Structure 1
Amino acid sequence: MAYIVQSAFLEAIFRSLLPATVELLLDELRLTEELKKELESLTTDVSILQAYLRDAVQKQQTSEVVRLWLSNLQDIAYDANDLLDECELERQREKVIRLARLRNSLSVINPKRSMFIHEISGRVTSLKMKMEEIKKQRVDFGLQPVQERLHITSNQSSSLEPPLILGRDDDKRRIKDLLLRPNVAGESNTSVLCIVGIGGLGKTALAQHVYNDDHVKQSFTLKSWVHVSQDFKEEKLTKDILESIDGSSQTSASLNNLQIDLLNKLSGMKYLIVLDEVWIEDWRQWYKFKIPLLQGAVGSKILVTARNIEVAKAIGASTIYPLKPIGEQDCWSLFCYYMAQQNPWIDVNDLGGFSGVIAQKCDGLPSAAADLAFRLCQEPDRSRWSSILNTENLQNSDSSRADLSYQLLPSQHKQCFSFCSLFPNGFQFDKEELINLWMAQNFIQCSDDQRMEDVGSGYFDFLERRSLFQYSRFDRKRNRPKYIIHSSIHNFARYVSKGECINIKPGQRIGKARHLSLTCQEAGTDLTIDFFSDQLKGVYTLVVFGESLATLPDDFIRKFENLRALDLSNTILQKLPDSINYLNHLRCLQLRGTKIRRLPDAIGELYLLQTLGLGNCYMLEKLPKGIKYLQKLRHIDLHWDDDSMLMMAQEDISWSLMGRHSLKYMPPEIGLLIELQTLSRFVVGEKSGCGVEELENLNQLHGELLISNLHLVKRSEEATKAKIKAKKLLQCLELHWDAMGTKL
């Protein structure tokens, strides 16, 4: 039986194949007229079939032949996408050859040109034959064209502030009083307060408002927020609290060592720790976990949110605070707020006729007010609102509310959300790094005057506002937040991405999937997957989780010929094979936190690469000289947590630790990469093309830039030529003169 085809991913592939998308590509490639016409005809067929997708996706639920038709169409679409990617690769190869001619004054030819034309011609002919059969079957199966409904989106950016709460002033005041009241005689230094209530009442939002209250901030020396969810493991939770306190990555493996570290952090400190969404009911787990929490100063508090009063009993809460539904007027006000957020042009005064039924429908649940606002905002015909209100059931499980939010998303947002099922349950992720993965898959659609990262940020904020993503903690070392997906919503993401995204373990045979995550848990794991699977060549994403990955086999690389994103971050990997150039479709290569010393020169042949993540690669000695030819490169992440002035100021780290990294200079002529948006670090070198003046034309840099080895700049003209003042998009600039930490 064929897999249920998920429309979001298929529609994304179709968008990349539309005639308007590929017209410029074909013009620049200088193909033969015959081949160009064949490609244009293929993309026209795609445009025609796109209108039938939504009808086929619905009918596949009850028709096996339609499901098989969709599966075949999906394979053809991916094959066509791979073909056009080969065209894009050839275009970039031509650009590099022209650049080499200019830089070296040599007559350089492209020996692969004739081979490329011959291969592409054969593949186009084969695809055209398959497409004709698909078009014929479309008629046989009675499929009808259906246009996607226009979705109204808001450009309003998200904020780290907790979501709006109404009708909770008394609750907030009472919880604050409980947290701030002085201890009574005989009471232990640390007490536990548990907010209990059903899902959708706004327990997390209320706790966030209390946590961020100025008076609360001033009353506790140390604060920590950790999302717990259903997976209560003492080691993980202790590690998460440590990371939340100081932003440091914890390497201790045993619970005993972690608890000693936490005890040292908390000893004598008046702290507030929030444990959000706790599900534990075994008191023995809690008592084992809480040992280091007992050493805080008088007045320390643990604030817990939970759905079940049995949790409060299991953790021995000294105070249980049952949260009640909000009033109908507050529900109505919240509904109007979310309607205005979704559609700023709407006049909420015109909605008064629906106020009674909407407030009653919400039944005191803030999340229901949000869900209903999002639902009705997608239906411009208000004559249908009454029927919707009569049929919608909002008092539902988390997964049902996630289903409602998901179904109302535009297709490009659906695929971005579904893609996150690759993350393990409870995984804390970084917004910018996720956007880079989306970019690698061409999920982000933007016009010529839009920055891809900004549009991706809008996608992310859109999903966060619908509670599909949730703020988890602030990473002080990166100076940006971490996010998480609630376990029930994560389960839903896995459901809607089935057949596209899959998580496996080493040695496990994979099924049909385009996006793959691999969890390595045993020490010294080699990256082994069933090499006999014919599905590997179709994989677009491979993300590895777990520190234990030691080697990347050469033959492994050759199996993933169409890979767009490879993330090997935070493993003990020390070397990439020279065969990395076989991954010539790669857009995102993440090696953060690995033991990599050198990158193979073959990296310089990854002409489509957009993101090169080398954050916290302290052993990295040099970058490949061919990196200057990667004209599509937008991000080179060289941020190192333990080499930041900002972090040293916050953590009181000795300046003698400066310069412990191994990178001594930048590769020559990195200034040719004028599309760079991120270059976290520039190490001035003495060789030609490695000086600070290479920064001259890199005026699109965002975020942070640390320039080191400035003592090697001998003339003021060199510094002036770097045009630092022109880097107006930078948020943080650090200047280091030598390895001893002499600074500005």
Structure 2
Amino acid sequence: MEKRKDVLGLEASAGYKVSQTIPSTSLVEKSVYGRDEEKETLVKLLLSDDESGNEISVIPIVGMGGIGKTTLAQFVYNDVRVKQHFHLRAWVCVSKEFDVFRISQHIYESLTKKACKINSLDLLLSELLETLRGERFFFVLDDIWNKNYNQVESLMRPLESGAHGSKIIVTTRDEDVTRMMGSLEAHRLKPMSEQDSWSLFEKHAFKNAGVSARSRLENIGRQIVGKCNGLPLAIKSLGGFLCSKLLVEEWESILKSDLWELPLESDILPSLWLSYMYLPSQLKRCFAYCSLFPKNYEFKTSELVYCGWLKIYCNLKPPKLQKKSDKITSMI
């Protein structure tokens, strides 16, 4: 254990809490900027009949990471017209690990509002088929990366028992996924407008700032927003980071950082690199260790305790466990 500590560069420290993100959910923010037109387009598609004649229509939302695919899907999912039109709704965060059994479990639990105790994939898919038979449903499968046709076909098979007019929205970065799963034309998200980008940044960056601070920082803030290229995740992340920093020098250091020179097609947005670079050194080590686990991977708490990063070396409080389970979900 001591050797593992040294390799990871972990040292005893105090005074910090681990900040964890969570897998996407269907809950949407009160204010969504710059997506009203896209929302109306998608709502009309959801409420209309599929002209192709398919019983189940699949609508892909495609775009680069951080452009707002999940937020738009949440926006649509919670629309009153959509709620009234469909008999059943379900939201599943898929991510990179495309596990047919896990995804089917989440769909079944969303529909029945009960924990799924079925351990057989065949029995689970049969139950799902019967639950959906003759029902008009709307599902969101968020963040799909999988391009294995056989796995996708296995997941979709029981969904075909739904009533005509059932719809599925899939969000993805991959055009191949769009072509494989989509039965309707893909909805390709564009970056936010300059005004909407500023409104989003302003909401998060200036929530604790007075009039004098806003006047000093607005010009720098607009230049920072311009470097975010209309990507809402980047804008929100930096706005949240800067809301506690009210010195001109602090904002200028972000604006002039060399990390903005990272290529746009990089898997990690420059703005998120900046958020990481300004973390305290203790949290950087914890973050680096957590990143070894795949996104949405469920691991036992003993795996964390064994490596000693969470409580022994960093002197941090362990995350709250989910209900009575001894598992924690990795969300980095």
Please state which band the TM-score falls in when normalised by the shorter chain: 0.7 to 0.9
**Among candidates 149, 168, 177, match of residue 44 of structure 2:** 177
Following TM superposition, where does structure 1 have runs of at least 4 consecutive aligned residues deviating by more than 6 angstroms?
A: 410-424, 539-543, 565-568
SS of residue in 2 equivalent to 1:236 = helix
8 Å contact from structure 1 (residues 542, 567) kept in 2: no
In the alignment, the residues of structure 2 paired with residue 166 and residue 378 of structure 1 have an alpha-carbon distance, to the nearest angstrom, of 22
How far off is 1:305 after superposition? Answer: 0.4
* Change in 2 beyond 3 A, CA 1:222/1:344: farther
1:265 corresponds to: 131
1:742 corresponds to: none
* Change in 2 beyond 3 A, CA 1:416/1:297: farther
1:332 corresponds to: 198
How far off is 1:194 after superposition? Answer: 0.3
In the alignment, the residues of structure 1 paired with residue 293 and residue 48 of structure 2 have an alpha-carbon distance, to the nearest angstrom, of 40
**Among candidates 131, 137, 143, match of residue 277 of structure 1:** 143
For 2:34, the aligned partner's letter is: G
1:314 aligns with 2:180: yes
Aligned-residue identity in percent: 35
* Change in 2 beyond 3 A, CA 1:6/1:340: farther
In the alignment, the residues of structure 1 paired with residue 125 and residue 193 of structure 2 have an alpha-carbon distance, to the nearest angstrom, of 43
* Change in 2 beyond 3 A, CA 1:418/1:359: closer
8 Å contact from structure 2 (residues 137, 166) kept in 1: yes
1:289 aligns with 2:155: yes
8 Å contact from structure 2 (residues 93, 143) kept in 1: yes
For 1:397, the aligned partner's letter is: D
SS of residue in 1 equivalent to 2:186 = strand
Q: Which has the larger radius of gyration?
A: 1
**Among candidates 292, 308, 327, match of residue 513 of structure 1:** 308
Deviation track 1:367-386 (CA, whole Å, cap 9, x = no partner) reads 12122223433443204533
In the alignment, the residues of structure 2 paired with residue 514 and residue 261 of structure 1 have an alpha-carbon distance, to the nearest angstrom, of 42
TM-score (norm 2): 0.77
How far off is 1:345 after superposition? Answer: 3.7
Q: How does 1:51-66 map to 2 (within 5 A)?
A: none
Q: Aligned-residue CA RMSD in angstroms?
A: 4.0
For 1:171, the aligned partner's letter is: E
How far off is 1:256 after superposition? Answer: 1.2
**Among candidates 10, 15, 22, match of residue 13 of structure 2:** 10
* Change in 2 beyond 3 A, CA 1:568/1:322: closer
8 Å contact from structure 2 (residues 221, 251) kept in 1: no
Q: How does 1:5-44 map to 2 (within 5 A)?
A: 5-6=9-10, 10-12=13-15
* Change in 2 beyond 3 A, CA 1:425/1:335: closer
8 Å contact from structure 1 (residues 182, 299) kept in 2: yes
8 Å contact from structure 1 (residues 12, 411) kept in 2: no
1:212 corresponds to: 78
8 Å contact from structure 1 (residues 422, 502) kept in 2: no
Q: How does 1:138-157 map to 2 (within 5 A)?
A: none
For 1:380, the aligned partner's letter is: L
2:220 corresponds to: 354
How far off is 1:337 after superposition? Answer: 0.9
* Change in 2 beyond 3 A, CA 1:540/1:372: closer
**Among candidates 256, 261, 271, match of residue 122 of structure 2:** 256
Unaligned runs of 5+ in 2: 18-25, 328-332
For 2:267, the aligned partner's letter is: S
1:503 aligns with 2:303: yes
SS of residue in 1 equivalent to 2:7 = coil
Q: How does 1:374-453 map to 2 (within 5 A)?
A: 374-391=240-257, 392-393=259-260, 395=264, 396-398=266-268, 404-406=274-276, 408=278, 425-426=295-296
8 Å contact from structure 2 (residues 8, 285) kept in 1: no
**Among candidates 170, 186, 189, match of residue 323 of structure 1:** 189
* Change in 2 beyond 3 A, CA 1:200/1:350: same
2:32 corresponds to: 165
SS of residue in 1 equivalent to 2:139 = strand
SS of residue in 2 equivalent to 1:317 = coil
In the alignment, the residues of structure 1 paired with residue 295 and residue 66 of structure 2 have an alpha-carbon distance, to the nearest angstrom, of 20
1:192 corresponds to: 58
How far off is 1:415 after superposition? Answer: 9.7
Deviation track 1:499-543 (CA, whole Å, cap 9, x = no partner) reads xx8738xxxxx9652559xxxxxxxxxxxxxxxxxx9xxx99999
In the alignment, the residues of structure 2 paired with residue 166 and residue 377 of structure 1 have an alpha-carbon distance, to the nearest angstrom, of 19
In the alignment, the residues of structure 1 paired with residue 112 and residue 100 of structure 2 have an alpha-carbon distance, to the nearest angstrom, of 19
SS of residue in 2 equivalent to 1:174 = helix
Name which structure has the greater RCO, CA cutoff 8 Å, separation 6+: 2
In the alignment, the residues of structure 1 paired with residue 168 and residue 322 of structure 2 have an alpha-carbon distance, to the nearest angstrom, of 36
Deviation track 1:550-596 (CA, whole Å, cap 9, x = no partner) reads xxxxxxxxxxxxxxx999945xxxxxxxxxxxxxxxxxxx79xxxxx
In the alignment, the residues of structure 2 paired with residue 179 and residue 191 of structure 1 have an alpha-carbon distance, to the nearest angstrom, of 9
For 2:48, the aligned partner's letter is: R
8 Å contact from structure 1 (residues 515, 542) kept in 2: yes
How far off is 1:295 after superposition? Answer: 1.0
8 Å contact from structure 1 (residues 228, 237) kept in 2: yes
For 1:248, the aligned partner's letter is: K
For 2:127, the aligned partner's letter is: D
